[in-house]
């Protein structure tokens, strides 16, 4: 089992039936497709290119939000602006996304590493990520757990989490939503309801709290009880691998 497979399976378990999920390509899309196959048959998938309710065919996982294989048996094919408008109107339950940098308040950077005007690395930018983080009823971040990703403060706030904590998200005009959890290759992180700061809620088998802290660039809180996730079953892994037999995303 690779780290990407672990990440996709654990992430898929976070999704519920009878919900609408706006997912990015790669691991988030695989996780959403796996959830729909296994335990959430009435999950409605939304893809940024303007695709509502597609059926992702095993072995035909799209690598772009705008390619036609992403629209297989879709319920609707609206314009991309309309897809984001559904989130603005409150129709999207979960935004399922990744990020290059994440800070203690769940803010995401996909714009630039370093100074914005003279960055070390220029990243792809927001796409629809800011819309999702601002407008979905709940945001789940899916990412590898690396110290360079988990930083004290992101270099650029592309997509808002809890901003500076202590009610600053709501004070900015974002009256609902927010990041509920971060699923990583080491465990599951949540957020303190009052301060908005990230905390450890679960570890994967064989991973300790010390391992998570060692791979995070800021101090993490801890939930009153830290769980251990159930490892992926052979059935889950088989279904996941059928979605990506060429291992473009599973490593």
Helices 234-243 and 27-38, packing angle to 10 deg: 120
- Based on the residue annotation, tell me whether 48 is a catalytic residue of this protein: yes
Rounded Cα distance between 58 and 126, Å, is 28
**DSSP H or E run through 184:** strand 179-184
Q: Other C-beta atoms within 10 Å of 231: how many?
A: 14
Catalytic residue among 5, 48, 138, 236: 48
The token duo for 25 is: 């390509």
**DSSP assignment, residue 182?**
E
List % helix, strand, coil for the chain (3-state, nearest 5): 25, 25, 50
CA 85 to chain centre: 20
Q: Other C-beta atoms within 10 Å of 85: how many?
A: 14
The token duo for 203 is: 């570890």
**DSSP assignment, residue 136?**
S
The full length of the chain comes to 251
| Cβ–Cβ under 8 Å, residues 25 and 33 | no
Rounded Cα distance between 167 and 129, Å, is 21
**DSSP assignment, residue 147?**
T
Question: So which residues are the catalytic ones?
Answer: 48
């Amino acid at each position: 089992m690779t780290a990407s497979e672990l990440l996709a399976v654990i992430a898929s378990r976070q999704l519920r039936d009878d919900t609408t999920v706006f997912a990015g390509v790669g691991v988030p899309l695989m996780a959403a497709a796996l959830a729909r196959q296994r335990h959430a048959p009435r999950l409605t998938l939304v893809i940024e290119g303007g695709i509502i309710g597609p059926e992702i065919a095993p072995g035909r996982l799209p690598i772009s939000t705008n390619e036609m294989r992403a629209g297989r048996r879709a319920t609707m094919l609206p314009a991309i602006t309309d897809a984001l408008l559904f989130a603005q109107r409150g129709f999207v339950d979960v935004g399922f996304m990744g990020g290059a940098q994440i800070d203690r308040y769940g803010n995401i950077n996909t714009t630039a590493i370093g100074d914005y005007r003279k960055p070390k690395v220029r990243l792809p930018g927001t796409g629809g990520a800011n819309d999702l983080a601002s407008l979905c009823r709940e945001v789940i971040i899916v990412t590898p757990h690396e110290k360079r990703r988990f930083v004290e403060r992101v270099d650029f706030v592309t997509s808002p989490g809890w901003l500076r904590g202590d009610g600053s998200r709501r004070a900015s005009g974002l009256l609902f939503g927010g990041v509920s959890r971060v699923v990583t290759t080491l465990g599951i992180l949540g957020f303190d309801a009052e301060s908005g700061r990230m905390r450890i809620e679960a570890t994967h088998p064989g991973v300790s709290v010390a391992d998570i802290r060692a791979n995070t660039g800021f101090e993490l809180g801890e939930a009153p009880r830290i769980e251990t996730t159930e490892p992926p079953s052979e059935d889950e892994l088989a279904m996941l691998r059928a979605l990506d037999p060429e291992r473009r995303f599973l490593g």
